[in-house]
Structure 1
Amino acid sequence: MTTKRIAFQGELGANSHEACVAHFPDYEPVPHASFEDAFEAVKSGDCALGMIPVENSIAGRVADVHHLLPSSGLKIIGERFKPIHFQLMANPGVKLEDVRTAMSMPIALGQCRKLIRSLKLRTEGTGDTAGAAKLLSEHPDPTKAALAPALAARIYGLEILARDVEDEHNNTTRFLVMTADKAPAAPPADRSCVTSFVFRVRNLPAALYKGLGGFATNGVNMTKLESYMENGSWTATFFYAEVDGRPEDANVARAFEELQFFSEKFEILGVYPADPFRAQV
């Protein structure tokens, strides 16, 4: 076992791989087929950290991850924002005018509609952006190209035919950095922080309204509130939320106290420095 490994979901060359390289260059990125496998790699100690995407500015939240976070036993120790760029890549020697089909995961194909329409390309869905590049390298086809990150072209020996072909150039994915450490070190005192938590309110009239009221009266900025069903139940609605600040801040502590009075479950998933990218948007 090594402490210098970081888990991500997807093939080598995926956006998550690029995020690992950019933010943790001293760690060895380790690909996993599913989010469950990536979480388990961190939980078991095979990897020291996990780089997990939670939402995209165009496609919205990564639903699977929100279901896994509360039960993972992992803690959030950081966030990273990554601008997403797609490159159209093909086997060496292939010309742009030869391409008839674009391969990638459906979300990526949807984020590159303008290029696909302008070139009159058919689309072929794959499970992963980098997986499309890998498939093309293993099964060369002069009529096909993959939409994937630039790193995938270098790894799989493909040539980029068109760069940064995404429709929206402000396309950004937010990642959470996860650890199995039950009591990670507190963020530096001079850094603005985010606190992530989950809760389930008691079965009382207006419990959610009353529970959240403490954030308004105490001047706490709640930046995220999302609901999802727990274990397929229509009655047990879980909420994932994020606020600016730390649990020990007086106003946050008072808001949490009020929320817990109206909740039957409450758990802090992490307290971590806010990524400077937030100040740019």
Structure 2
Amino acid sequence: MAKRRGNAGGRRGDAANTIAFQGEAGANSDMACRAAYPYMATLPCPTFEAAMGAVQAGKAELAMIPVENSIAGRVADLHSLLPHTKLKIVAEHFQRVEHCLVALPGATLKTIKTVKSHVQALAQCRNFLKKHRLQPLVHADTAGAAREIAEDGDPQIGAIASSLAARIYELKVLARNIEDADHNTTRMLVFSRDEATPDWRTVQCMSAFLFRVKSVPAALYKALGGFATNGVNIVKLESYLSGAHFEQAQFYAEVEGHPEQRALQLALEELAFFSEEFKPLGTFPAHPFRRRGWQAPTRPGT
């Protein structure tokens, strides 16, 4: 395993060992990339589209994009990109979010009056801010807020950011784990130009796809019936109205299983009969976070 470089953006010409993310250096997505791929350099990008575009353009090998949070719910921006991307989902990662109050060296909880951060981070630390009578100030990005207070040099302003951001911008951590809920976890999807090839006989797999049902009564009920009759668990199903007149719904789905398994094959065949514009997004190993209780199939085709 290669040693991780200390820089945030990697070296030129080393795209094969680079993973892109949305946000500034030190963002929670940056921490997630380093946790899941400690041997890769991280590449900050301004938007989800730019991060995925860096992979498509060959500037990075992977992109890690948040898809949902245990407190805030789904991250909607990604779903508008899925119908158009050529990338494939190759992995998932669950990142525990640990918010820190950071400030200039020499600052204390008594000197801090205002705290900057992303609106979600502020909301997730509401009890801490209220207890210490700190005035929240919305910023576009957690790591960006940390960078800004380091540049401005005002000892009365702190930021809610990661410990990584504090280290990058040479700030002091005044308090750790200040989030209200101890289950604050963000699920990330990892995208690549090439498909993953997990062996479903030895590892639990997840498959993701998009589809649009035909505009007829009970189309969704019939399209999903094959998953029930074949014992395939649908883990995630989200709908999006599309078209000028919002007449048809597009669905994003994640199911347990690999397309080579007979049960999922039959379920997808029935889905195809009652739907249109089916687009596979990738099959990938289930993260250990969700693998509890899984057992390898005992015979072919199970």
Distance apart, 1:232 and its partner CA? 6.4
Question: 1:247 maps to which residue?
Answer: 259
Q: Is 1:73 aligned to 2:86, yes or no?
A: yes
Q: Find the residue that maps to 2:16 and give its secondary structure.
A: coil
36, 45, 55: which one pairs with 1:42?
55
Q: Is 1:213 aligned to 2:236, yes or no?
A: no
Q: Is 1:271 aligned to 2:283, yes or no?
A: yes
The one-character-per-residue Cα deviations of 1:61-80 (angstroms, maximum 9, x if unpaired) are: 11000111221111000001
Distance apart, 1:268 and its partner CA? 1.0
Give me the whole-angstrom Cα distance separating, in 1, the residues matched to 2:245 and 2:99. 38
- 1:112–1:166 contact (8 Å) kept in structure 2: yes
Q: Find the residue that maps to 2:235 and give its secondary structure.
A: strand
Q: Find the residue that maps to 2:110 and give its secondary structure.
A: helix
Give me the whole-angstrom Cα distance separating, in 2, the residues matched to 1:160 and 1:230. 45
Q: Structure 1 residues 280 and 245, CA, compared in 2 at 3 Å: closer, same or farther?
A: closer
Give me the whole-angstrom Cα distance separating, in 2, the residues matched to 1:143 and 1:230. 47
Question: 1:11 maps to which residue?
Answer: 24
Q: Find the residue that maps to 1:69 and give its secondary structure.
A: coil
Distance apart, 1:229 and its partner CA? 2.8
Question: 2:296 maps to which residue?
Answer: none
Q: Is 1:121 aligned to 2:130, yes or no?
A: no
172, 176, 201: which one pairs with 2:185?
172
Stretches of structure 2 that go unaligned for 5 or more consecutive residues are 1-12, 294-302
Q: Find the residue that maps to 2:83 and give its secondary structure.
A: helix
89, 107, 110: which one pairs with 1:97?
110
Q: Which residues of 2 match residues 14-163 of structure 1 at below 5 A? A: 14-163=27-176
- 1:70–1:269 contact (8 Å) kept in structure 2: no
Q: Find the residue that maps to 2:227 and give its secondary structure.
A: helix
Greater relative contact order: 1 or 2 (C-alpha under 8 angstroms, separation 6 or more)?
1
Runs of 4+ in 1 over 3 A off after TM superposition: 230-233
Give me the whole-angstrom Cα distance separating, in 1, the residues matched to 2:87 and 2:196. 14
Give me the whole-angstrom Cα distance separating, in 2, the residues matched to 1:94 and 1:233. 55
Question: 1:199 maps to which residue?
Answer: 211
Give me the whole-angstrom Cα distance separating, in 1, the residues matched to 2:244 and 2:286. 32
Task: Give the number of the structure whose residues are more often helix, by fraction.
Answer: 1
234, 257, 260: which one pairs with 1:222?
234
Give me the whole-angstrom Cα distance separating, in 2, the residues matched to 1:202 and 1:224. 20
Q: Find the residue that maps to 2:149 and give its secondary structure.
A: helix
Structure 1: which amino acid aligns with 2:34?
V
Q: Structure 1 residues 3 and 79, CA, compared in 2 at 3 Å: closer, same or farther?
A: same
Q: Find the residue that maps to 2:272 and give its secondary structure.
A: helix
Q: Structure 1 residues 27 and 233, CA, compared in 2 at 3 Å: closer, same or farther?
A: farther
The one-character-per-residue Cα deviations of 1:215-237 (angstroms, maximum 9, x if unpaired) are: 11111000100012336651232
Q: Find the residue that maps to 1:160 and give its secondary structure.
A: strand
**Count of residue pairs brought into register by the alignment:** 279
If the length of structure 2 is used for normalisation, what is the TM-score? 0.90
Stretches of structure 1 that go unaligned for 5 or more consecutive residues are none
Structure 2: which amino acid aligns with 1:194?
M
Distance apart, 1:280 and its partner CA? 6.0
Q: Aligned-pair RMSD on alpha carbons?
A: 1.3
Q: Is 1:187 aligned to 2:192, yes or no?
A: no
Distance apart, 1:155 and its partner CA? 0.1
Distance apart, 1:16 and its partner CA? 0.6
Distance apart, 1:185 and its partner CA? 4.0
- 2:215–2:248 contact (8 Å) kept in structure 1: no
Q: Identity over aligned residues, as a percent?
A: 50
Q: Structure 1 residues 36 and 237, CA, compared in 2 at 3 Å: closer, same or farther?
A: same
